[in-house]
Amino acid sequence: MRRTGTAVLPLHGGRAPRWLCARMVRLARAVVEAMVEEVDPAGVLRRLADPFWFQAFGCLLGFDWHSSGVTTTVCGALKEGLRGTEGALGLLVAGGKGAASRRTPQELTAYGERLGLDPGPLIYASRMAAKVDNNALQDGYQLYHHTFFVTRDGSWTVVQQGMRPDDQTARRYHWLGEAVESFVCEPHAAICCDYTGLALNLVAAESAAARAAIIWRTPSAGPALGDPNGCRPSAACTRWGRPRGALCAW
């Protein structure tokens, strides 16, 4: 697995205007229908996994504020706009903000039953992506939004967001599930942020010994997490030519 990027945004409360949301829903559906014809559902996932494309897509839909709300509003517009088109377009949107994010497993299960898709690996990927960004990578952001996009053949993308009330910022995380190698060792393709600070990064290659100790203390964590010692630093684990360790300035 690899995360394709992050975005840091000002944290704002409130809601988008109702008239804008209604237009975003209609436009999101029309755009995705055209994209499925041009690049197929997997191509839609790749674009949603790009933080720059996602931000531009939000502006296209009419939400052009530099705000944490672009994540929740765009994902909500996609979920509502694509509701009922799963069979025709082969693209499902599960999860959402707050309580809706916790219904992701049930929604994936229902989707699997309708289309004959095993929901187990999808639910596992959803939970692991959230666990990594909320627990294994301790950068001070608490997840409150989790949206899972999946195609008929089981390809998926995650767009999720955490908040840090102390400095009123939100950080968005993008995952693309095309190249699953390890959930716990260097899963990130990029971490880009204007705000830096110490973060405890248990998915760094240099944290292999810590992961091994954690798994040894928790036998039930076991093989599903992969070999904690079989990890090699990837190109993404260097920043300005220097390896990133367990404590990184992000």
> What are the pLDDT digits (tens) for 147-175?
999 999 999 999 999 888 888 888 888 88
Q: Residue 176: inside a domain, yes or no?
A: yes
* Residue span of the structural domain in which 164 resides: 2-180
Indicate whether 201 and 166 sit together in one domain: no
Least confident of 28-37, 119-128, 199-208: 199-208
Indicate whether 112 and 44 sit together in one domain: yes
Give the per-residue pLDDT at 246: 47
> What are the pLDDT digits (tens) for 231-243?
554 443 333 233 3
Domain count, the chain: 2
Angle at 177 between CA 235 and CA 98, to 5 degrees: 110
Q: Residue 188: inside a domain, yes or no?
A: no
Is residue 220's pLDDT more than 90? no
Indicate whether 62 and 150 sit together in one domain: yes
Q: HSE, CB side, 13 Å, CA atoms: give it for residue 235.
A: 3
Q: What average pLDDT does this structure show over 223-228? A: 47
Q: Which of 150, 180, 210 is the last residue of a domain?
A: 180
Among 211, 190, 198, 206, smallest CA distance to 248 is for 198
Least confident of 16-20, 72-76, 245-249: 245-249
Residue 124: which residues within 8 A CB-CB, separation 6 or more?
224
Tokens representing 111?
């989707």
